[in-house]
Chain A
């Protein structure tokens, strides 16, 4: 089967660092994506990993371990505007088609 788990909520302080974890189980793994979503809006793309290791993009970094079915999103120098939901998504390939499976999302609250 397919399953993606991430924490429901996290709280952190402005200027701090926060790590949001994601574990997954899929039969046809073909990449892992992180999206940010503000309430009532569409998700926006943050990062993509398909090989093991760390991808860094400004204040955001994402890590992948395919053998462990594990990823994390690292947010540095937190700002109030980072308060949002963060969605982990796996691209799965099977029966000749690709589909993107999302976790339930992690609501991050950044406190002053």
Chain B
């Protein structure tokens, strides 16, 4: 079955540590997105990528980094510069054309130890 896989489901970060969240899709989608969701809030865009080897900052990119070396993969690194990383992180993809909706992964809950 095609879909988006995020791992791990739960992740804990120590002070000063960088952590990487994985996002893999087998939908052959060109566009991929990372969102952050805080409790009781909507989704805020961190980074997005329309094609391989290209990505753009979203509204809250500070303290995060991404790469898009392969069409299927769009990992997100939460760096030590992100002082308030505790949140639910969602990865999504779309075909990048027409009226295509976003398809979401199941999310990663990141907490600080």
Contacts and interface: CB of A to CB of B under 8 A. Distances in A.
B85 interface: no
Interface string A38-63: 00111111001010000000000000
Interface residues of B, number: 26
Contacts of A102: 35, 42-45
A15 to B, nearest CB: 27
Interface of B: 31, 33, 35, 40-45, 48, 50, 56, 58, 88, 90, 92, 94, 96, 99, 101-102, 104-107, 109
Interface in A85-103: 87, 89, 96-103
B45 A104 contact: no
A7 interface: no
Given A33-B102, A40-B88, A99 B58 contact: yes
B42 A103 contact: yes
A41 B107 CA distance: 7
